Amino acid sequence: MLQEIHKAIENLYPEMVDIRRYLHQYPELSFQEYKTAAYIANFYKDLDIPYTKDVGGNGVVATLKGGKPGKTIAFRADFDALPIQDVKEVPYKSKVDGVMHACGHDGHTATLLVLAKVMKSFQKDLPGTIVFLHQHAEEYAPGGAKPMIEAGVLENVDAIFGTHLWATTPLGVIQTAKNVLMAGADRFEIKIQGQGGHGAYPHETKDAIVIGSQVVSQLQQIVSRRIDPLETTVITVGKFEAGDAFNVIADTATLIGTVRYLNTDIQEQVIQEMEKIVKGICTSYECTYTFHYEKGYPPVINHKQEAELILDVSSKLPEVEQAEEIIPVMGGEDFAYYLQEKPGAFFFTGAEKDGNHYPHHHPHFDFNEKAMPIAAKTLISAYFSYQEE
């Protein structure tokens, strides 16, 4: 039956592309995906697959109960977009100004919808139950995974699998890890209150730009001089706001950035070290500060058995040239929350497009649509293999 399912997925590839391109033209930002959620819900309505809308926010959950007994396995796809202007010249270019599917979530959604359509036709012979989790708001913490879990989407689920179309990895390559696959991703904001003044009289001021620059410099030394070099950590200041005029010394400065880590113990150490540095520098300059640290998504930690299963089933697909275990990447994903609750694995499906080598979250981002059926085949192959575990 699995070969027949794979063939059916191939036959519906054009529909996969049509869905993906439609969604690409009408993207919606995190927590605002009302029309996208309605589109997904209507798709399941037309298939006569039971579904629930507005789960944990804008989430949609559909359940296909097979005609034979077996385990319940969930597949997850996210469907939110990013606040990025789509600048690539393609027929399916975003029609929403300043909003774009720049990470492949449109492809994730198209993959799962078509897989659901295929499996509906095999329902009477299907062992177990498939739960299709369409998650909103992956891109913006606190994300959609947590509220969907709190709404009960994992109740009675035995395992969960998910994939990310990975545009920087060649087509035909499947990648995962048997432990940590992706980093924890946090956000911080530091506000420095100095004392502004005339640019000609710096000695009468407490220059927020100078103070902020010292903070930026010292934060980098946390990784290079205070963290074990065998641990992986990133501290990035992505935004520095201060000053209004060329001849005025800034009164305040705001630093906003992200921390990435693989080890939760290191996360706590980084927070403590950051606080000490900010406090020490501001004290020495006799100014005040506020330090706000927001813990975001935890690391994506796969379960070994499920990750091995992904590597095994994908390696048997004719379209897959290589199934490999990789070292962790420093991007973040709220799929991590599902794996804290249930056995499962997250994996990357190579989707590099010829002539387009732009990374995720780039205005020129695009991916090879031929990766979508590979992702679908890997997911459903994992489903059947897990039924036999």
Active-site residue list: 80, 138
Residue whose pair of structure tokens reads 């192959």 in the numeric block? 381
Give a three-class secondary structure readout of 274-338. HHHHHHHHHHHCCCEEEEEEEEEECCEECCHHHHHHHHHHHHCCCCCCEEEECCCECCCCCHHHH
Task: Give the count of beta carbons closer than 10 Å to the beta carbon of residue 388.
Answer: 9
Say whether 139 counts as a known binding-site residue: yes
Q: How far apart are CA 24 and CA 100, in angstroms?
A: 7
Say whether 105 counts as a known binding-site residue: yes
> What burial class does residue 234 get, using C-beta atoms within 10 Å of its C-beta: 0-12 exposed, 13-18 middle, 19+ buried?
middle
* 8 A C-beta contact, residue 99 and residue 42: no
- List the structure tokens of 354: 């010829």
CA distances (Å), 353 to each of 171, 293, 365, in order? 8, 37, 10
Say whether 103 counts as a known binding-site residue: yes
| Interstrand relation of 344-350 and 159-166 (parallel, antiparallel or unpaired) | parallel
Partners of 27 in the β-ladder: none
* 8 A C-beta contact, residue 98 and residue 186: no
The full length of the chain comes to: 389
Residue 290: phi, psi to the nearest 5? -130, 140
> What burial class does residue 179 get, using C-beta atoms within 10 Å of its C-beta: 0-12 exposed, 13-18 middle, 19+ buried?
middle
* 8 A C-beta contact, residue 1 and residue 122: yes
Q: How far apart are CA 225 and CA 216, in angstroms?
A: 15
Q: Annotated binding residues, as ranges?
A: 103, 105, 139, 164, 361
Q: Annotated binding residues for Mn(2+), as ranges?
A: 103, 105, 139, 164, 361
